[in-house]
């Protein structure tokens, strides 16, 4: 993950306000992803990794919500079946591994 800070506009605007006005990127039309540039303003360019993480988290949340809705519908129709053998194996495995199984702390 990288972070770049562009501060060249401040020095250029102090030397010549007209120099940055001609080359300024309009807000929202930056050639770099994640950067909105104003003439003479400091700029921060954060890598797209954070955007990818946010998109992945949103996709996971959406998938989990869909699965919960699916299970709720099955339960409401009386069709939800629990595999007790798999449940017990998972509980024991988590206990041995030191997992918390949803406990606070």
Backbone φ and ψ of 3, nearest 5°: -140, 130
58 burial level (CB within 10 Å; 0-12, 13-18, 19+): exposed
Residue 91: CB partners within 8 Å, gap ≥ 6?
101
Q: What is the pLDDT of residues 62-91, one digit of tens each?
A: 999 999 999 999 999 999 999 999 999 999
Q: What is the pLDDT of residues 32-41, one digit of tens each?
A: 555 555 566 7
Q: 89 and 55: one domain?
A: yes
Q: Which domain holds residue 57?
A: 50-97
Q: 8 and 27: one domain?
A: yes
13 band by pLDDT with thresholds 50, 70 and 90: very low
């Amino acid at each position: 993950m990288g972070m770049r800070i562009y501060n060249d506009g401040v020095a250029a605007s102090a030397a010549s306000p007209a120099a940055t006005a001609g080359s300024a990127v309009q807000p929202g039309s930056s050639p770099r992803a994640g950067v909105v540039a104003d003439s003479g303003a400091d700029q921060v360019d954060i890598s797209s990794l954070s955007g990818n993480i946010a998109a992945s988290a949103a996709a996971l949340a959406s998938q989990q919500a869909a699965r919960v809705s699916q299970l709720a519908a099955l339960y409401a129709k009386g069709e939800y079946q629990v595999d007790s053998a798999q449940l017990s194996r998972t509980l024991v495995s988590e206990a041995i591994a030191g997992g918390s199984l949803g406990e606070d702390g």
